Amino acid sequence: MALIDTKDTKDTERICFVSFVSFVSSVLIVLATVASYALGWFLNVPILIPLFNVAASYPFMILALKRGDLGVAIARMLLWALTMGLCAMLLSYVRPAATDTLFLRGEAYRVEMFGWVMTGSGAESTPSVFVPQQLLQTSVFAVLALVTGGVLAMPMGAALMNYMGHYVGSLAANSRQPMLTMLLAWHPWSVIRIVSFVILGVVLSVPLVSRVTRLTIDRRAARTFKIAACAGLLADLILKALLAPAWQRLLLRVVGW
């Protein structure tokens, strides 16, 4: 009986320790990501911001993968993406003019999306335009994740996240209902795409990382995550084609232009 109690106690202690490490890692990811924007703002060199963003998260992803925990690695990168989206959005809401040039492609994407919100015309509502664009972006991202272990794919994802957040924050800054705009301007298909990119980026990083660090990943779990990411990317295209025109009209009413 004493042996059983000792084993149960050790298991409980191990679970508590793992939970504590997970909590600390999550807090550090958030704080480091916020700090990456502060550093980017201070230096004001747009091309460096995605690199600072990645430096705040990539080591934590690798640590999780080295333990063979693919799910934790994905969860950490999803938290990172959420933090980036909030930081880019809030910074652009407060300083929309400055962030126009702070974020790579910030101004160009904002102008494109503002035009779509105002008129309903543009790539966002034109499958013949956005489908090839997104297929190309996904292909480039996937190849970079596979051949560099995510080292070059993650900055690409960070840049995409930043200019999307910039569009949302800038639109909210020009809206009569800024809080509702912040919610709705994250189009549902875009959110699905972000989650899919994160999952795909982590899973496709595994082959190279595993050769360098000799980690072991559950192949069945990796395959399941990969299928989920591909399904999400397909859902993104379908939902965008079906919902974009109605979503544009909804945004226009909320923004009040």
Regions of the chain short of the pLDDT cut 50: 1-3
pLDDT of residue 210: 87
The amino acid sitting at 49 is I
pLDDT of residue 237: 98
Range of the domain at 130: 2-255
pLDDT of residue 16: 76
pLDDT of residue 33: 98
Task: Indicate yes or no: pTM above 0.85.
Answer: yes
pLDDT digits over 76-87, tens only?
A: 999 999 999 999
pLDDT of residue 9: 66
Closest CA to 113 of 184, 180, 47, 53: 184
pLDDT digits over 114-152, tens only?
A: 999 999 999 999 999 999 999 999 999 999 999 999 999
pLDDT of residue 74: 97
b/e map of 8-32 (b: 16 or more CB within 10 Å)? eeeeeeeeeeeeeeeeebbeebbeb
Closest CA to 34 of 85, 103, 94: 85
pLDDT of residue 3: 47
How many structural domains is the chain composed of?
1
